[in-house]
Amino acid sequence: MNTPAAVGDVCPPRRYTHSRLQLFRFSAVSWNSHRIHYDAEFAVSEGFSDVVVQSTLHGQTLTRYALEWAGPDACLESVSWRNVATAVAGEPLTWSGTVRTVAPCDSGVRVTLDVFVLRDDGAPCVTGQVDLTCRAARTSPSAEPCRGPATS
Amino acid sequence: MSVLDDVLSRARGLIGRWEDEDCGTVTVKDFCRYAAAVDDLGYLRRARDQEAAGQPVEAPALFLAATMSWEDGPPEDELLPDGLAVRESPCTQGLPVRQVHGGQSVRLTRAPLAGTRVTASRAVTSAERKHGRSGDFVLLGLTTRYTAPDGTELTAVDETVVVLAALPKGATA
């Protein structure tokens, strides 16, 4: 658990890429047949350099790394993001986050992170915000166990 | 009238018209396939352990929000040329456009448990003509509310879709 977090704390960045195979599997499991995500030739015809990372996969990544940073007692409350630029398969990406607010709540501590997906040149392709509740038993005796296994 | 004017006109006629979709009963298998697709092996292990122990299993946090459609179809010959189904591409049927997601806001109220029957209620909530780096576009706002059979909200998603005119052949964005 990375709490107690303080405003301005910077989360360790995470580097990753999405493979074409992952984009295809994510399209399949999310019943997303938009060809820009799995048909490279079609994606190029629409002006992209390769198949395009799904918006919701960006949201998934923003959320997952925020929860991994926060630790097993953290629950996701909300996530929002804006796609600033397109990311494509194989492109090196970096997740980063900064603590915006920390406030006590009924179940522990509520932490809001400003989160980003950055391209290799440091330019953001996704910007967003993740709200987490971190159980803090020592400061909140009434805190209830975190919800289930849903860490992704 | 331009193609984007057509989109705007159609969208404004749909604003506020809610449509319900039966998502069916969500299962541990559904959850685990989603987790596998995003390489979340930790979720897979915990969910299967909980299932084996007879405990309730919650969906991955963005499982509902990430799923584009809960329909059985449509069959391939009913998809639009870009692969989207008509319902996933509101206001653009038959028009030479391309579209990308602008972003999403997902609020988690209560995690759905395996075995829950879920309903998705969806509406176009806004439509605006905009101008950006890629030229003119229409920004569609869509809201989807996922509820349990007792009406309890599970997840709410506000999303924006950017609709642009199709590129001329051989052009790049």
Q: Among partner residues A77, A80, A147, which is closest to B104 by beta-carbon distance?
A: A80
Q: Specify the higher pLDDT residue, A34 or A5.
A: A34
| Predicted pLDDT at B54 | 98
The SS3 call for residue A57 is helix
Question: Which has the closest alpha carbon to A66: A103, A95, A93?
Answer: A95
How far apart are the C-alpha atoms of B158 and B161, rounded to whole Å?
A: 10
Please indicate whether, in this complex, the C-beta atoms of B39 and A22 are within 8 angstroms of each other. Answer: yes
- pLDDT for B87 equals 76
Helical segments of chain B, H only: 3-14, 28-37, 41-52, 63-66
Give B-chain residues touching A41 at CB under 8 angstroms. none
ipTM over 0.85: yes
User: CA angle, A92 as apex, A88 and A98 as ends, to 5°?
Assistant: 105
Query: At residue A73, what are phi and psi to the nearest 5 degrees?
Result: -90, 5
End-to-end CA separation in angstroms for chain B: 23
CA-based nearest distance A8→chain B, Å: 23
pLDDT-based confidence at residue A141 (cuts at 50, 70, 90): very low
Cross-chain residue pair B108–A77, CB shorter than 8 Å: yes
- Both tokens of B132, joined, read 């950006």
Residue of B66, B47, B65, B35 whose CA lies nearest to B115: B47
Structure confidence at residue B133 (pLDDT): 79
Q: What is the pLDDT of residue A107?
A: 83
- Kindly determine whether residue A39 and residue B83, on different chains, have CB atoms separated by under 8 Å: yes
To which residue do tokens 């929002």 refer?
Answer: A80
Q: Closest CB to B58: pick one of A48, A128, A149.
A: A149
- Choose among B40, B104, B111: nearest Cβ to A147: B111
Q: Is the pLDDT of residue B172 over 90?
A: no
Whether residue B96 is predicted with pLDDT greater than 80 in this model: the reply is yes
Average pLDDT, chain B: 92
Name the residue among A33, A76, A152 with its Cβ closest to that of B35: A152
For chain A, first and last CA: distance in Å?
16
B103 close to B160: Cβ distance less than 8 angstroms: yes
Backbone phi, psi, residue B64, to 5°: -65, -45
Q: How far apart are CA A19 and CA B20, in angstroms?
A: 34
- Position A19 scores a pLDDT of 98
In sequence order, what are the residues at sequence separation of 6 or more whose Cβ sits closer than 8 angstroms to the Cβ of residue A93? A15, A16, A17, A18, A87, A117, A118, A119, A120, A125
Question: Taking the CB of residue B29, how many other CB atoms lie within 10 A of it?
Answer: 11
* Predicted local distance difference test score (pLDDT) of residue A151: 46
CB-based contact, B58 to chain A, within 8 Å: yes
Chain B 15-54, CB below 8 Å of chain A: which residues?
Answer: 33-40, 42-43, 46-47, 50
Q: How far is CA B83 from the centre of its chain?
A: 14
Rounded to whole angstroms, the Cα distance separating A134 from A63 reads: 14
> Higher confidence at residue A46 or residue A119?
A119
Confidence grade of residue A145 (pLDDT, cut at 50, 70, 90): very low
Distance between CA atoms of A16 and A97, rounded to whole angstroms? Answer: 15
Structure tokens at A99: 């603590």
At A120, the amino acid letter reads: D
Which residues in chain A touch residue B58, judged by CB atoms under 8 angstroms apart? 147-150
Helix axis angle for A55-70 and A20-29, nearest 10°, is 100
Confirm or reject contact between B101 and chain A (CB < 8 A).
yes
Count chain A–chain B contacts defined by CB atoms under 8 A.
142
What distance in Å separates the CA atoms of residue A97 and residue A113, rounded to the nearest whole number? Answer: 6
Give the closest residue to B84 by CA, choosing from B70, B95, B68: B68
Residue A63, number of CB atoms within 10 A of its CB: 27
Question: What was the pLDDT predicted at B91?
Answer: 84
Instruction: Determine the Cα–Cα distance for residues A55 and B101; give it in Å rounded to an integer.
Output: 6
Q: How distant is the Cα of A4 from the closest Cα of chain B, in angstroms?
A: 23
At B44, the pLDDT band (50, 70, 90 cuts) reads: very high
CA distance B117 to B81: 32
Indicate yes or no: CB of A149 within 8 angstroms of CB of B68: no
